[in-house]
Amino acid sequence: MTDTPVPDVTLNNGSTIPQLGIGVFQVPPEDTAKIVATALDVGYRHIDTAALYDNEEGVGQGVRDSGLARDDVFVTTKLGNPDQGAERGLAAFERSLQLLGMDYVDLYLIHWPLPGKDLYVETWQTMEKLYADGRARAIGVSNFQPNHLRRLQAEATVLPAVNQVELHPTFTQAPLREVHQQMGIATQAWAPIGQGAELDNATVGEIAERVGRTPAQVIVRWHLQIGNIVFPKSVTPARIEENFAVFDFELDDSDVASISALDAGNRTGPDPDQFN
Ligand code: NAD
């Protein structure tokens, strides 16, 4: 990897992931290549996409346009909900690779457990094959609850490297993070700034003013200091830069604690136990 201020997190299979990246949920397909290339120019080396975002092609194009070597960029994509199951899962992965124009992904995730469909164990077995043949360098899950993780632990061979879940100051997921820690699964935080809603929080604003940073920078810093892997989304170049400029300051322990204390169980996305 090239010179970067972003620390790596070592996953349970020994591979490493840059702790800060950029997410491209809701980035229009036609804008994606440009935004990805902009982010890579700023210094990001980790892109989080998904089949369901309909912009994998733009992600691949942006990586190629950046002029960086494929190995210098960490790319995550996700297996979409309609593609669970052994055969569909394999076909979905082939399609993602083709759209990305890549011969491997760094991390492949099951996007949602869909417990009512009861296909995630079978889907995971396909993920294990993709991992064994090296086309997914690491495999993980998203929106899994402790019971879904424990079922994989009991029935599967490979433990997920990460679980990507909704997580922001008013929804800190402390019990789930504890389970991750016990199982050796890294926590990835989606909607890290609550899709923008947490930027208006008074406590965050007070800390931001005191440390001379923006609310977004304070929240990203909080994620990094509590150990989350994080990829805020923006399509605005100035914000893409702002969200990356978080490696020349630190929050003190009391500020980290007061942000963690904002937890209000404020889930904004679907409940993974109910969503099918
Ligand atoms: P986010 O919390 O990153 O918020 C994004 C929004 O915040 C932007 O649209 C922008 O309006 C605003 N914003 C960003 N930076 C800002 C700044 N510096 N100042 C002011 N406003 C700013 O929300 P997200 O996009 O939902 O989550 C991030 C990424 O997580 C996604 O892009 C995607 O990659 C991933 N994600 C995964 C799942 C999943 O089910 N696995 C679900 C949602 C998102």
Cα 194 from Cα 187, distance rounded (Å): 16
Percent of the chain residues past pLDDT 70, beyond the cut = 99
Mean pLDDT of 108-115: 98
- Residue bearing the CA closest to ligand 1, atom 6: 195
Ligand 1 proximity of 52 Cβ (cutoff 6 Å): no
Question: Is residue 166 in some structural domain?
Answer: yes
- Summarised one tens digit per residue, pLDDT across range 150-166 is 999 999 999 999 999 99
Whether 1 is covered by a domain: the verdict is no
Quick one: which atom of ligand 1 is closest to the CA of 189? 30
Q: Is residue 275 part of a domain?
A: no
What was the pLDDT predicted at 2?
56
Q: From the CB of 22, is ligand 1 less than 6 Å away?
A: no
What's the confidence (pLDDT) of residue 54? 98
Number of domains comprising the chain: 1
Give pLDDT tens digits for 45-73. 999 999 999 999 999 999 999 999 999 99
- pTM of structure: 0.98
Residue 194 Cα, ligand 1 centroid: separation in angstroms?
7
CB contact at 8 A, 49 and 79: no
Phi, psi dihedral angles at 231 (to 5 degrees): -150, 75
Q: Give domain status of residue 271, yes or no.
A: no
Q: Is 171 in the pocket of ligand 1 (CB under 6 A)?
A: no
Q: What is the pLDDT of residue 227?
A: 98
Contact 8, 16 (CB under 8 A): yes
Report yes or no on 274 lying in a domain: no
- 212: in domain: yes
Domain that holds residue 217: 8-260
Q: Using a 6 Å cutoff on CB, does residue 275 contact ligand 1?
A: no
Of 234, 246, 268, 275, the one to substitute when testing ligand 1's pocket (max ligand atoms within 8 A of C-beta) is 234
Domain holding 227: CATH number? 3.20.20.100
Distance CA 47, CA 55 (A): 12
Does the CA dihedral 126-132-133-137 come out positive or negative?
positive
Q: Ligand 1 mean position to 235 CA, how many Å?
A: 10
Is residue 89 in contact with ligand 1, taking CB distance under 6 Å?
Answer: no
- Distance CA(270)–CA(259), nearest Å, equals 23
CA of 154 to the centre of ligand 1 (A): 33
Does 276 map to a domain? Answer: no
Q: Is the pLDDT of residue 99 over 80?
A: yes
Residue 192 in contact with ligand 1 by CB distance below 6 A: yes
Q: Is residue 273 part of a domain?
A: no
CA dist 54 → 30, 152, 202 (Å):
10, 28, 35
The 3-class secondary structure across the chain, one letter per residue, is CCCCCCCEEECCCCCEEECECEECCCCCHHHHHHHHHHHHHHCCCEEECCHHHCCHHHHHHHHHHHCCCHHHCEEEEEECHHHCCHHHHHHHHHHHHHHHCCCCECEEEECCCCCCCCCHHHHHHHHHHHHHCCCECCEEEECCCHHHHHHHHHHCCCCCCEEEEECECCECCHHHHHHHHHHCCEEEEECCCHHHHHHHCHHHHHHHHHHCCCHHHHHHHHHHHCCCEECCCCCCHHHHHHHHCCCCCCCCHHHHHHHHCCCCCCCCCCCCCCCC
Q: Which atom of ligand 1 is nearest to the CA of 49?
A: 34
Mutate to test the pocket of ligand 1, among 25, 46, 77, 145 (most ligand atoms within 8 A of CB): 25
Contact 144, 160 (CB under 8 A): yes
pLDDT of residue 3: 78
Tens of pLDDT along 199-222?
999 999 999 999 999 999 999 999
